[in-house]
Structure 1
Amino acid sequence: MDLKGYRTLSGAMLRVGIFGYGGGPSVIPLFRHEAVIRYNWMSDKEFGELLAFANALPGPIATKLAAQLGYQQKGTAGAVVAILSHILPTSIAIVALLGALYSMKESVIVAGMIAAVRPVIAVLLGITAYEFCAKTWGGLGKVIGVGFGVLAFLLLGVLDLHPAIVIITFLAYGTVHLKVYNWANQRWEKKKKEENREGMSS
C-alpha cells in the first residue's frame, strides 16, 4: 500500500478544509493550488473541466472536488480518504467550538476578522476566474470567450437559471464545438496533403 500517497492526499485535503474559510466557492482556489500547482496532479484545463463537471452535480462543491481528486489519485479508497480528511477536522472543530462561537458572534474583534478575510477570498476567486478566462480564450478565442462570459452572466445573474442548466448547456455546446473543430481541422490537413502531393507530382 502506498502510504505516502495517501498521506499526501490526506494532507492536501486537510489544508483545503482548514483554510477554506467560508466554504463553497472560496475553497476552489485552494483545491486548484493543491491539485495543479503544489502536486501537479492535473493541468489547469483538466481542473476547469473537473470543476464544471462537479458543479453540474448536486451537493456541496467542496466534497465533490475532494471525492473526485481522491478517486483520480487512489481510486475508491482515495475518494473516501479525501472526503474524510477534508470534512472531519473542521466538523470536529466546529462542534467543539460551537459554544465559543455563539458567545463571540457579537464581538467586534471577530467581526473585524471576518471583514478582513473577505477581500482575500475575493482576490483568490478573481485570480482563479481570470486564469480560467485565459484558458477559455486559448480554446475558443477572445470574442467567443467574452461572449460566452456575458451570456453566462445574463443566464445566471439576470434570468436566474439554475447553474446546472447553464453548465450542461455549455458542456453540450463545447462537445459540438470540439467535434466541428476537429472535423474542420482534419479536412484542412487532408486538403493540404493533397495539395502537397499534387505539387510534388507536377
Structure 2
Amino acid sequence: MGQSKLKTNKDLFAAFFRVGLLGFGGGPAAIPLFHREAVVNYKWMTEDEFGDTLALGNTMPGPIATKMAGYIGYRVNGVIGCLIALAASVIPTVVLMILLLGILQKYKELDWVNSMSAAVVPVVGVMLAVMTWDFFQKSGQALGIGRAILFTGIAIVLLEVLNIHPAIVIMGILILSLTSFKKGERSK
C-alpha cells in the first residue's frame, strides 16, 4: 500500500472516528458532522453530492450514520475505505454507549445527570436547523425559490399533517422533480 493510500485510510479513520465520538443524538444529529468531515474538512464530495447521498440514504432502510459512513468510505477508497469508515464510526458509539449508559443508569436520580441529558437536545436541534437552512438555500438555487418553498410546504404537510413515511415523501418529490422540470430549467 502506497503512502497516499495509508494517509487516505488514516484520514478516513480520523474523520469517522470523530463523527462516531461526537455524534450524540443518533444518526440525524451526526449528519452535520458527516457534512463537516466529507465536504468541508477533506473535500471528498461537493455540497450537491452530499445532499444527493443524504437524500438517497434516507430512502433506504437502516441507520443513516452507517449508510453515510459506508458510502463515503467506499467512494474515497473502495471496500477497504468502506470498512475503515464503518468501523471508525461504530466503535466509539458502541464503547461510549456501554460506558455512558451504564454511568447514566447508575446515577439517573441525580439532578445534574438529568440536566446534562436535557442540555444536549437544543444543541442537536440547532445543528439540524443549520443543516436544514443550508439545504433549503441549495434547493432555492437549484429549483428557484418558488419551487423550493412549494416542495418544502408539500413535505411539511405530508410528513407532519398526514404522517406519511419520509422515504415515501423523498421518493415522491424526487419523481415529481424528475418528471415535471427539465434539467437546467430554473425559476428566477
Q: Same fold by TM-score, threshold 0.5 exceeded? A: yes
**Among residues 53, 56, 60, which one is paired with 1:57 in the alignment?**
60
Deviation at 1:173, TM superposition (A): 2.1
Give the aligned partner of residue 183 of structure 2. Answer: 181
Q: Could you state the TM-score of these two structures normalised by the residue count of structure 1?
A: 0.85
The reply on whether 1:46 has 2:49 as its aligned counterpart is yes
Give the aligned partner of residue 117 of structure 1. Answer: 120
Change (3 A) 1:140 1:97: closer
Deviation at 1:172, TM superposition (A): 1.4
- Deviates further, 77-86 or 100-109: 100-109
State the Cα deviation string for residues 131-186 of structure 1 (Å, max 9, x = none): 100000001111110010010011111111111111111121232245x235x79x
**1:181 alignment partner, SS class:** coil
**Among residues 53, 77, 81, which one is paired with 1:78 in the alignment?**
81
Deviation at 1:97, TM superposition (A): 4.5
Unaligned runs of 5+ in 1: 186-202
**1:106 alignment partner, SS class:** coil
Cα distance in 1, alignment partners of residues 108 and 25 from structure 2: 15
Cα distance in 2, alignment partners of residues 116 and 145 from structure 1: 32
Cα distance in 1, alignment partners of residues 129 and 112 from structure 2: 27
Deviation at 1:89, TM superposition (A): 2.2
Please identify which structure carries the higher helix content.
1
**2:25 alignment partner, SS class:** coil
How many residue pairs get aligned? The number is 183
**Among residues 164, 167, 173, which one is paired with 2:167 in the alignment?**
164
The reply on whether 1:30 has 2:33 as its aligned counterpart is yes
**Which has the larger Rg?**
1
**1:22 alignment partner, SS class:** coil
**Among residues 152, 155, 169, which one is paired with 1:152 in the alignment?**
155
Cα distance in 1, alignment partners of residues 47 and 29 from structure 2: 17
Cα distance in 2, alignment partners of residues 96 and 145 from structure 1: 43
Deviation at 1:77, TM superposition (A): 1.3
The reply on whether 1:8 has 2:6 as its aligned counterpart is no
Is the contact made by 2:159 and 2:169 (CA closer than 8 Å) also made in structure 1? yes
Q: Which amino acid aligns with 1:45?
A: D
Unaligned runs of 5+ in 2: none
Identity percentage over the alignment? 42
Aligned alpha-carbon RMSD (Å): 1.6
Deviation at 1:86, TM superposition (A): 0.4
Cα distance in 2, alignment partners of residues 172 and 85 from structure 1: 35
Is the contact made by 2:104 and 2:113 (CA closer than 8 Å) also made in structure 1? no
**1:14 alignment partner, SS class:** helix
Q: Which amino acid aligns with 2:85?
A: A
The reply on whether 1:90 has 2:90 as its aligned counterpart is no
Q: Could you state the TM-score of these two structures normalised by the residue count of structure 2?
A: 0.91
Cα distance in 1, alignment partners of residues 130 and 89 from structure 2: 23
Cα distance in 2, alignment partners of residues 118 and 56 from structure 1: 25
Q: Which amino acid aligns with 1:171?
A: L
